Amino acid sequence: MTGLFSRILRMGKAEAHSAVDKLEDPIKMTEQGIRELKKDLEESMKSLAQVKGIVIRMRNDAENKKKLAADYESKAMALLQKAEQGSLEMSEAERLATEVLSRKEDAGKEALRLSKEVTSQEGMVLQLQRNVDKLRTTVQRYENDLVTLRARSKTAAATKKLNAQIARVGSDSTIAMLEKMRDKVEEDESLSQAYGDMADSGQSVDDEINKALGEGSSMPGVSDSLAALKAKMKLK
């Protein structure tokens, strides 16, 4: 049994070195090992049933031989009783009784041989039963281990995937993205200010004058402005 499972484990030694991180390979190997162990268990149970059947038949045969020996002894006694009662010649009764006792002895010997064989076979049955029980326990343990291995495999795969995702979006990557965003915002702000400056530089002279004077300022009349200008030029 243990040799079988060791053989199963050796099957994947060459692949194991190149697939250490691939839990599906050990799972498949374990499943294959369990299938083979179950096959061995089934064959062992068949052998156990066959041996038990043989023991039962031998035990029955031994009992039958014992009964036959006792029956022969009863017949020998009956023959002698008939001779004693005069219904049978003593010589004939003794001859027949001797033959019957000979058969009784043969039956007794066969019963003894079968009984010894039964004892021997019962020892084999016990050993086979222990092996079957041990193999059944081993199969159950490996099946439980397989359930655990599958669960661990799923957990490991999920953890590996999550860690990979976290690694792809690590702190350095996040900082880099924030820096790019900050540069983009500052660039947009600078560009907006530049466009504003360009818009201001495109104002007309009148716009600038009006802006300097402010809205609502009183404007001198055209005639007053003209008179002032003439006075400055000393013109009449």
Question: How far is residue 83 from each of residues 15, 56, 74, 86, 92, measured CA to CA in Å?
Answer: 89, 41, 14, 5, 8
**CATH fold for domain 2-154:** Helix Hairpins (1.10.287)
pLDDT of residue 3: 57
Question: What are the start-end ranges of the H helices in the chain?
Answer: 2-11, 13-18, 24-85, 90-168, 171-201, 205-213, 222-233
pLDDT of residue 162: 85
Going from the first residue of the chain to its last (236 residues), give the mean pLDDT of each consecutive group of 10, the final group possibly shorter. 54 50 70 91 92 94 95 94 91 94 96 94 92 93 89 88 75 71 82 71 61 56 69 70
233's enclosing H/E stretch is helix 222-233
Domain ranges in the chain are: 2-154
Residue given tokens 């500052």 in the structure block: 186
pLDDT of residue 216: 47
The helix, strand and coil proportions of the chain, stated in percent and rounded to the nearest 5, come to 90, 0, 10
The pTM of this model reads 0.53
CA distance 195 to 95: 144
Q: Are 178 and 171 in contact (CB under 8 A)?
A: no
CA distance 139 to 177: 55
pLDDT of residue 214: 60
Q: pLDDT tens-digit profile of 173-213?
A: 667 777 888 888 888 788 778 777 666 665 565 666 666 66
